[in-house]
């Protein structure tokens, strides 16, 4: 049984004590054998109600009980004067009348409208999921209810306080009228709908039963309803009262969840914002071509939560690039710099001239604003995607531009920085106080609220064998001479979703790295072998390499059933100058050899791509995408061709190889299904390394075997700074993590540590 709270209700809120009591009693009513999901304050918004009547208090989906909407009222029997149809006349309260049953019924019908969109939940044009509205009165006993005369066939269905014990409550819920129990597919579909999966789902319809081509198989990836797992829902639905970091492996859904959280905050400001004016929210990112994707996600989720389109609503949100300027449009740095006294905005060219010694120009200009500018409060919440691409100066600049709650929410990929795989700790980003305590403490959870740090281990985008290949090559685990970077602690590997059998104290001993299928739940995992998904080829010349890739693209489109926009080509190169020559060469051959196929080149440095709209475009319908690695980051495709893998080790300087291996990792993890790695220089050690890795993953249970390196000789150890992030007090555990006891019933006096 899943339990998901999207609520910020506390005992001090009106009706909060009763509501929290019912929430805990409902959780006690079910166990792990139940197939169901229970929500507290499911976030569909009735704009006409007051704060505590706008959302259903509790939504239960159960395979045997169907959909149950439970509306909790903290009334005593003396406060209910009479009931006239759906209207309750109250006394001794500021609210004179209420219609709790009608309210729950309307909310239930609204939720069922989402079910009705799915063919699996329709039978003879009717929704196959029964919906029952129920009123819960924790401060009224059944005897009091009967004595007041609220009985008979027209009386509302209620559950009273003396029926909230585990057995009594279960009996009440089991006795509700329902249709036939939901079948396995019906329940799974309904659960995915409630998980807010529809805004990210593919087209309706079923993929071919007997797939024959890549196009057929890819429909298994793209078609049908997609659900969010329990952790994803907690991240997307809960609104933290302060800063929060979301750490996750590539393909774990962080961009979707950040957009979902932004829409949640936008649709229900009363849940988190107490100001008189409309809250100011900004979502920002590094990759310009993510603009359209994030904008569409926020719009779809806003409509899901509020029932109205963002364009037609009074709500507003800034979805802007991290830098910004006259060519690329508004941006966070641009906005802050132009609004701060004492500094001026600098475009990239100006920053390059003023800060020639800084490799990261954005960090340089952000540092200038922090040092010399008087930063005003511009936003009430800042949500940052791709935070691995922003440095401490940028994040601190954003924090300075926030109102008092420091509601800075950032998501970054574990191991997807183009320069390093290492994720910065909050201490390293925001510093410490005079007692060496973190300025922003992101350990544990907020009182009666969400975790301050989430670590996401599941990857949904890339197949398991492909992800393992990408990590192994990115770190160089099987490289001659040892890895260029690695993780030397078991918990570090576990944070990436792996299982490791190794003694890191014994240099040269065997390490065995595996990945549980549950952490890579890809639709093709049990359908295609790794040999079908991963291909490696080496060639005598660059021309031979690109011509072969052009032939494969022809086959992908005209024989294997993929659309041109499903294909992404990423040419790697060692140096910037060599990269530009290489990109031009690849483009010319692809255009010449790919008959009747248009090529969409999205190079960063081309003039037409520096325009405001051009920089936001990545994929074009009917065209194969050709991209350098910086523009590919954050995007994805069904079939990805990674050219020039030999350039990964073509130079001797170890630091350069580190960066190029990270780029190889990012390139490989753009794929949602197939990945092809090509290169020249057939005698290059990188080809033997790739063959060794593919031999390891091309088995039923992929297993990477490598030698434990001497940690003192590894230049970059990717130690995960998570020891103190998820430490939780018992009160937090009770309210936020599914404890079946009310606080007063629990006699634990310990600190619980959990991940």
Q: What CA dihedral angle connects 173, 178, 179 and 180, to 10 degrees?
A: 20
Q: Which of 495, 501, 503 is nearest to 471 (CA)?
A: 495
Measured distance CA(202)–CA(221) in Å, rounded: 9
Q: Are the beta carbons of 694 and 719 closer than 8 angstroms? A: no
The per-residue pLDDT for 723 is 46
The per-residue pLDDT for 47 is 60
Find the farthest-apart pair of alpha carbons in the chain and give their distance in angstroms, rounded. 92
The per-residue pLDDT for 533 is 97
Structural domain of 127: 2-194
Q: How many Cβ atoms are within 10 Å of 292's Cβ, its own excluded? A: 15
Q: What is the mean pLDDT of the chain?
A: 88
Residue 563 to residues 100, 226, 549, 572, 592: CA-CA distances in angstroms? 51, 21, 16, 24, 19
For residue 425, the 8-state DSSP code is P
Burial class for 371, CB neighbours closer than 10 Å (0-12, 13-18, 19+): exposed
The number of folded domains in the chain is: 3
Question: Same structural domain for residues 140 and 241?
Answer: no
The per-residue pLDDT for 173 is 95
Question: Same structural domain for residues 170 and 235?
Answer: no
Share of the chain above pLDDT 70, in %: 89
Relative orientation angle of helices 332-339 and 361-372, to the nearest 10 degrees: 30
- The CATH number of the domain holding residue 584 is 3.40.50.300
The per-residue pLDDT for 417 is 55
Q: Which residue has the tokens 């634990």?
A: 748
The per-residue pLDDT for 514 is 97
- 3-class secondary structure, 320: strand
Beta bridge partners of 510: 707
Q: Are the beta carbons of 44 and 67 closer than 8 angstroms? A: no
- 3-class secondary structure, 640: strand
The per-residue pLDDT for 214 is 96
Question: Same structural domain for residues 632 and 531?
Answer: yes
Question: Same structural domain for residues 348 and 495?
Answer: no
- Is 245 within the bounds of a domain? yes
Going by pLDDT thresholds of 50, 70 and 90, the confidence category of residue 746 is very low
Question: Same structural domain for residues 39 and 100?
Answer: yes
Each residue's pLDDT tens digit, 511-565: 999 999 999 999 999 999 999 999 999 999 999 999 999 999 999 999 999 999 9
Question: Same structural domain for residues 689 and 587?
Answer: yes
Q: How many Cβ atoms are within 10 Å of 437's Cβ, its own excluded? A: 9
Residue 642 to residues 111, 376, 554, 577: CA-CA distances in angstroms? 44, 45, 16, 19
E strands in 527-566: 534-538
For residue 164, the 8-state DSSP code is -
Q: Which of 292, 302, 247, 266 is nearest to 380 (CA)?
A: 266
Tokens read off for 70? 């439970």
Strand order in the sheet with 97-98: 80-84, 87-90, 97-98
- Kindly report the backbone phi and psi dihedral angles of residue 508, in degrees, each rounded to the nearest multiple of 5, phi listed first: 90, -10
Helix ranges, 307-445 (H): 332-339, 348-354, 361-372, 392-400, 426-430
Q: What angle do CA 217, 222, 227 make, to 5 degrees?
A: 125
- Is 499 within the bounds of a domain? yes
Beta-strand relationship, 534-538 and 671-679: parallel
List % helix, strand, coil for the chain (3-state, nearest 5): 40, 20, 45
- Is 201 within the bounds of a domain? no
Question: What are the b/e assignments for 644-674, b being 16+ CB within 10 Å?
Answer: bbbbbbbeeeeebbbbbbbbbbbbbbbbbbb
The per-residue pLDDT for 708 is 92
Each residue's pLDDT tens digit, 471-508: 999 999 999 989 988 888 888 899 899 999 999 999 99
Q: What is the pTM of this model?
A: 0.89
The per-residue pLDDT for 178 is 83
Tokens read off for 433? 């106080």
Question: Same structural domain for residues 383 and 513?
Answer: no
Each residue's pLDDT tens digit, 138-167: 999 999 999 999 988 888 999 999 999 999
The per-residue pLDDT for 719 is 53
- Is 608 within the bounds of a domain? yes
Question: Same structural domain for residues 416 and 502?
Answer: no
Measured distance CA(677)–CA(679) in Å, rounded: 7
Question: Same structural domain for residues 24 and 96?
Answer: yes
The per-residue pLDDT for 420 is 52
The per-residue pLDDT for 605 is 38
The per-residue pLDDT for 368 is 97
Going by pLDDT thresholds of 50, 70 and 90, the confidence category of residue 716 is low
Q: Which residue has the tokens 């940052």?
A: 384
Q: Is pLDDT of 416 > 80? A: no
The per-residue pLDDT for 744 is 38
Among 424, 451, 480, identify where a domain stops: 424
The per-residue pLDDT for 728 is 36
The per-residue pLDDT for 692 is 97
- Is 80 within the bounds of a domain? yes
The per-residue pLDDT for 617 is 80
The per-residue pLDDT for 613 is 57
18's CB contacts (< 8 A; 6+ apart) are 72, 73, 74, 138, 139
Question: Same structural domain for residues 400 and 272?
Answer: yes
Each residue's pLDDT tens digit, 230-243: 999 999 999 999 99
- Is 299 within the bounds of a domain? yes
Share of the chain above pLDDT 90, in %: 67
Question: Same structural domain for residues 141 and 10?
Answer: yes
The per-residue pLDDT for 485 is 87
Q: Which residue has the tokens 């009547």?
A: 53
Q: Are the beta carbons of 211 and 220 closer than 8 angstroms? A: yes
Among 170, 194, 218, identify where a domain stops: 194
The per-residue pLDDT for 737 is 38
- Is 454 within the bounds of a domain? no
Q: Are the beta carbons of 115 and 127 closer than 8 angstroms? A: yes
Measured distance CA(470)–CA(668) in Å, rounded: 6
Beta bridge partners of 445: 451
Q: Is pLDDT of 102 > 50? A: yes
The per-residue pLDDT for 602 is 87
Among 362, 397, 424, identify where a domain stops: 424
User: Of 103-107, 448-452, 675-679, which one has max mean pLDDT?
Assistant: 675-679
The per-residue pLDDT for 196 is 96
Each residue's pLDDT tens digit, 602-644: 874 343 334 455 567 889 999 999 999 988 988 999 999 999 9
The per-residue pLDDT for 298 is 97
Interval 685-713 mean pLDDT? 93
The per-residue pLDDT for 486 is 87
Each residue's pLDDT tens digit, 164-218: 999 999 999 999 988 789 999 999 999 999 999 999 997 777 788 899 999 999 9
Question: Same structural domain for residues 114 and 260?
Answer: no
- Is 668 within the bounds of a domain? yes
Interval 79-86 mean pLDDT? 94
């Amino acid at each position: 049984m899943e339990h998901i709270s999207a609520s910020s209700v506390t005992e001090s809120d009106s009706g909060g004590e009763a509501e929290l009591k019912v929430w805990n009693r409902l959780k006690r009513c079910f166990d792990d054998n139940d197939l169901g999901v229970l929500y507290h304050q499911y976030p569909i918004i009735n704009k006409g109600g007051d704060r505590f009547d706008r959302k259903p208090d509790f939504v239960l989906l159960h395979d045997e009980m169907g959909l149950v909407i439970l509306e909790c009222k903290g009334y005593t029997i003396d406060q209910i004067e009479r009931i006239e149809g759906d209207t309750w006349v109250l006394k001794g309260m500021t609210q004179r009348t209420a219609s709790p049953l009608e309210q729950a019924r309307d909310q239930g019908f609204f939720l069922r409208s989402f079910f009705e969109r799915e063919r699996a939940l329709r039978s003879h044009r009717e929704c196959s999921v029964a919906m029952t509205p129920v009123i819960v009165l924790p401060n009224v006993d059944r005897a009091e209810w009967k004595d007041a005369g609220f009985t008979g066939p027209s009386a509302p269905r209620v559950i009273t306080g003396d029926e909230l014990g585990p057995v009594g409550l279960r009996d009440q819920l089991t006795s509700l009228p329902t249709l036939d129990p939901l079948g396995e597919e019906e329940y799974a579909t309904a659960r995915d709908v409630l998980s807010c999966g529809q805004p990210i789902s593919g087209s309706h319809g079923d993929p071919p039963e007997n797939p024959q081509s890549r196009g057929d198989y890819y429909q298994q990836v793209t078609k049908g309803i997609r659900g969010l797992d329990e952790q994803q829902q907690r991240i997307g639905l809960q609104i933290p009262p302060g800063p929060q970091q979301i750490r996750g492996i590539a393909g774990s859904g962080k961009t979707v969840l950040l957009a979902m959280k932004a829409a949640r905050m936008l649709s229900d400001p009363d849940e988190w914002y107490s100001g008189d004016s409309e809250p100011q929210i900004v979502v920002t990112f590094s990759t310009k071509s993510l603009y359209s994707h994030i904008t569409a996600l926020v719009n779809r989720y806003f409509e899901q939560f509020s029932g109205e389109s963002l364009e037609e609503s009074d709500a507003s949100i800034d979805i802007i690039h991290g830098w910004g300027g006259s060519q690329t449009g508004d941006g966070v740095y641009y906005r802050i710099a132009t609004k701060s006294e004492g500094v001026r905005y600098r475009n990239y060219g100006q920053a390059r001239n003023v800060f020639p010694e800084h490799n990261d120009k954005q960090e340089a200009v952000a540092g200038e604003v922090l040092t010399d500018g008087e930063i005003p409060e511009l936003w009430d919440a800042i949500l940052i995607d791709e935070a691995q691409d922003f440095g401490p100066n940028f994040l601190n600049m954003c924090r300075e531009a926030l109102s008092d709650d420091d509601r800075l929410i950032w998501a970054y990929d574990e191991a997807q920085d183009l320069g390093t795989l290492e994720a910065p700790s909050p201490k390293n980003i925001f510093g410490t106080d005079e007692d060496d305590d973190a300025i922003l403490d992101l350990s544990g959870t907020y009182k009666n609220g969400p975790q301050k740090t989430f670590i996401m281990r599941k990857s949904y985008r890339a197949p398991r064998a492909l992800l393992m290949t990408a990590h192994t090559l990115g770190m160089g685990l099987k490289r001659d001479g040892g890895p260029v970077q690695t993780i030397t602690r078991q918990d570090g590997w576990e944070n990436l979703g792996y299982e490791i059998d190794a003694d890191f104290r014994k240099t040269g001993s065997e390490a065995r790295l595996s990945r549980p299928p549950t952490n890579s739940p890809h639709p093709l995992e049990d359908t295609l072998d790794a040999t079908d998904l991963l291909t490696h080829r080496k060639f005598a010349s660059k021309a031979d390499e690109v011509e072969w890739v052009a032939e494969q693209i022809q086959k992908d489109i005209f024989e294997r059933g993929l659309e041109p926009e499903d294909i992404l080509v990423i040419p790697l190169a060692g140096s910037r100058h060599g990269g530009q020559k290489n990109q031009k060469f690849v483009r010319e051959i692809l255009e010449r050899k790919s008959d009747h196929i248009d090529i969409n080149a999205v190079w960063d440095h081309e003039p037409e791509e520096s325009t405001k709209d051009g920089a936001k475009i990545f994929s074009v319908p009917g065209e194969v995408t050709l991209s350098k690695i910086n523009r590919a980051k954050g995007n994805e495709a069904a079939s990805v061709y990674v050219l020039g893998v030999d350039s990964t080790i073509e130079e001797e300087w170890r630091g350069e190889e580190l960066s190029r291996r990270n780029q190889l990792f990012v390139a490989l993890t753009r794929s949602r299904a197939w990945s092809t790695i090509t290169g020249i220089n057939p005698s290059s050690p990188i080809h033997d390394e790739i063959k060794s890795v593919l031999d390891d993953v091309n088995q039923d249970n992929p297993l990477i075997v490598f030698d434990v390196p001497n940690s003192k000789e590894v230049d970059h150890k990717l130690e995960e700074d998570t020891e103190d992030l998820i430490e939780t007090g018992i009160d937090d555990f009770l309210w936020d993590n599914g404890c079946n006891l009310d606080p007063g019933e629990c006699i634990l006096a310990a600190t619980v540590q959990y991940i």
